[in-house]
Amino acid sequence: MSDHDARALLREALDFFNDHPRFSLRRDRSRNSYELASRIDALLARDKPALAVVAAARERWETANLLRVDANALAVEHDEDGYWVRAWVRVSSASIGDTPALQAERYARAIAALPETTRDVLLGHQRDRQDLSAIASRLGINTRDVEQHLADAILAIGRALDGA
């Protein structure tokens, strides 16, 4: 379970406990939901940003896979255009050439080992950004065959990268 999902589950439990304040705990009937709810509330309170601008930044970039606002962003900088909130930017390893040499070699060999039509389909789709119908037209085959060639290429490359 991801951290996000776990926190959502805790929020749901807290809502339940707040709706049923005297809910007794199964294992210890002498305890009620007040103690547990306060512990959950204290844990979730640490996630609440100290500044509204941090909350706005988190909300805006929550679903982006390329930017993460610092969990403990307590300070921001202000300039004439707005606020600066501390964050991390994701850069894929492949985009800076930071792939292991062995994996790059396996990938190149797998591409070279593909049947000619399968390689043409894959390169047309990946490198040249052609859609499936354009590839089919160029190679004189139907789009179903193009899909099958792409699937075959992906499978072969996957096996080569896994060392199989």
pLDDT tens track for 128-163: 989 999 999 999 999 999 999 999 999 898 888 876
Q: What is the pLDDT of residue 41?
A: 75
To the nearest whole percent, how much of the chain has pLDDT over 70?
74
Looking up tokens 């606020």 gives 83
Query: How many helices and strands (H and E) does the chain possess?
Result: 7, 4
Q: Which CATH class is domain 95-161?
A: mainly alpha
Amino acid at 155: L
Of the pLDDT bands very low, low, confident and very high (cuts 50, 70, 90), residue 164 is low
Give one DSSP letter per residue of 21-57, joined into a string: TTPBPSS-TT-BHHHHHHHHHHHHHTTS-SSHHHHHH
Indicate the average pLDDT of the chain: 78
Q: Are 64 and 51 in contact (CB under 8 A)?
A: no
pLDDT tens for each residue of 76-96:
778 888 888 777 777 766 665
Ranges 36-45, 79-88, 119-128: which has the least confidence: 36-45
Q: What is the pLDDT of residue 11?
A: 79
Phi-psi region of 140 (alpha: psi -120 to 50; beta: other; left: phi over 0): left
Q: What is the pLDDT of residue 68?
A: 73
Furthest C-alpha separation in the chain:
76
